[in-house]
Amino acid sequence: MSTTSRSALAEPTEAVPRIWVLWLSLASIGVWAGFFGPIQVLLAQQAELVNEAEKESVLALVTGAGAAVSLVFNPLWGALSDRTVLRIGRRVPWVVGGAVTGAVSMLVLAPADTLWQMLVGWCLAQASLNAMLAALTATIPDQVPVRERGTVGGWLALAQTAGVIAGSGIAAATGSIAAGYLTSAGLLLLTAAPYVLRSRDVPLRPQERTPFVLGPFVRSFWVSPRLHPDFAWAWLTRFLVNLGNSLVVLYLLYYLDDAVGLTEDQAESRVFQLTAAYGVLTVLTAVAGGIWSDRVARRKPFVIASGLVIAAALLVLAVVPTMTGAWVGAVVLGIGFGIYSSVDFAMISQVLPSAGDRAKDLGVINIANALPQVVAPVVAALILGLDLGYATLYTFAAATTVVGSLLVTRIRSVA
């Protein structure tokens, strides 16, 4: 059945072309590079230029504000894309708008040398990139049948990892903060173009769109845990696992500097190297884990096991603050997070409450990705401010990950 003859709200049954998965993955690489190049390196470097003595507080304020923007705009853009009735589809317009505005935000960030410039630029970047992310993520339940979602989720996890590596690699290789942002802007536009031209997006028929009424529209962002308990448990498990991960990602540069004892230049170089090692293992396990999960038609055992592996990696970082410990932690973390990323997404796509609200509901799920970026700096500032050290911080991260992985057992509708 062609994309123009079936309903946008129908459950997909036909296998998706491999070339479409490639274009979707490329667009995802650009988005994640746009997120993580700044988060891992560029914003931290700018924070030091703005106020070296208070670099942690500056970074926490900027990343926290950006994450707060993400909390609002990801589900909002998703809800609006669910209601878009254009001939080119309901997702593509948001991919185009997000890519163009995201590139503009990088131009704003490139010369930023004050706190206010950083705040404005990064909040604009978060708002823009989340428009793309909401639309791209929703294409999976829109177009991919359940039997293939672990596999496609694995390719998207691979794309996310490639984006993280590309983002930190660009930041490390370009030689200046401005060049890093300009290169990220170019990559964002370049990787989005093939998907935009070959999206297979299914237009929403005007008669399929419910009338807009402000009150019900606003209330729709609350998904009742009582009515949809599996959705609620999926949200909570993702939040806890991502909180543990955020505590590592946001403070890796400072961990290498302050706990491991590297110089600033050494730490910046090691961030890229460790991210690359983590990425290689994520790539090797994400697709394999997704395919395996599809073949056995099981999700929860993979999520639980991978969460425990992630926690083990965090404990290595906590108790062995050396480069050897960092390398071991990166490898183990890559193994666990690769499997987790692909299979957890497939599981979440199976507990969405409504076909008409796929992007909005996935936007609500994505709050579980963004909210940890708000909470993590607060937790880190509290623990490090009390001089409890990175060992305590990463032990706490491991504990939250264990709890998150075990709570997946409360989900009843997915095996």
- Using DSSP, state whether 137 is helix, strand or coil: helix
Q: What is the structure's pLDDT at 319?
A: 93
Q: What is the residue-wise DSSP string for 41-77? A: IIHHHHHHHH-GGGHHHHHHHHHHHHHHHHHHHHHHH
Amino acid identity, position 290? G
Amino acid identity, position 313? A
Q: Which two tokens stand for residue 60?
A: 């926490």
Q: Is residue 403 within a helix (H) or strand (E), and if so which, with residue range?
A: helix 389-406
Tell me how far apart the alpha carbons of residues 147 and 73 are, in angstroms, rounded to a whole number. Answer: 30
Query: Do residues 201 and 88 touch, judged by C-beta distance below 8 A?
Result: yes
* Nearest to 81, CA basis, from 24, 27, 138, 37: 138
Q: What is the structure's pLDDT at 1?
A: 44
Cα separation values, 405 from 217, 235, 301, 408, Å: 32, 12, 10, 6
* Nearest to 303, CA basis, from 330, 277, 274, 341: 341
Tell me how far apart the alpha carbons of residues 298 and 315 are, in angstroms, rounded to a whole number. Answer: 28
Cα separation values, 193 from 3, 25, 126, 186, 329, Å: 20, 12, 20, 11, 36
CATH homologous superfamily of 18-202+212-410 equals MFS general substrate transporter like domains (1.20.1250.20)
Tell me how far apart the alpha carbons of residues 273 and 41 are, in angstroms, rounded to a whole number. Answer: 13
Residue partners of 290: CB distance under 8 A and separation at least 6: 150, 151, 152, 153, 154, 155, 157, 342, 343, 346
Query: Do residues 217 and 80 touch, judged by C-beta distance below 8 A?
Result: no
Q: What is the structure's pLDDT at 5?
A: 59
Q: What is the structure's pLDDT at 243?
A: 93
Which parts of the chain have pLDDT scores under 70?
1-5
Q: Which two tokens stand for residue 76?
A: 């909002």
Tell me how far apart the alpha carbons of residues 260 and 366 are, in angstroms, rounded to a whole number. Answer: 32
Residue partners of 270: CB distance under 8 A and separation at least 6: 256, 262, 323, 326
pTM of the model: 0.84
Q: What is the structure's pLDDT at 241?
A: 94
Residue partners of 251: CB distance under 8 A and separation at least 6: 380, 390, 393
Q: How many CB atoms lie within 10 A of CB 2?
A: 8
- Residue 351 has φ and ψ, to the nearest 5°, of -115, 15
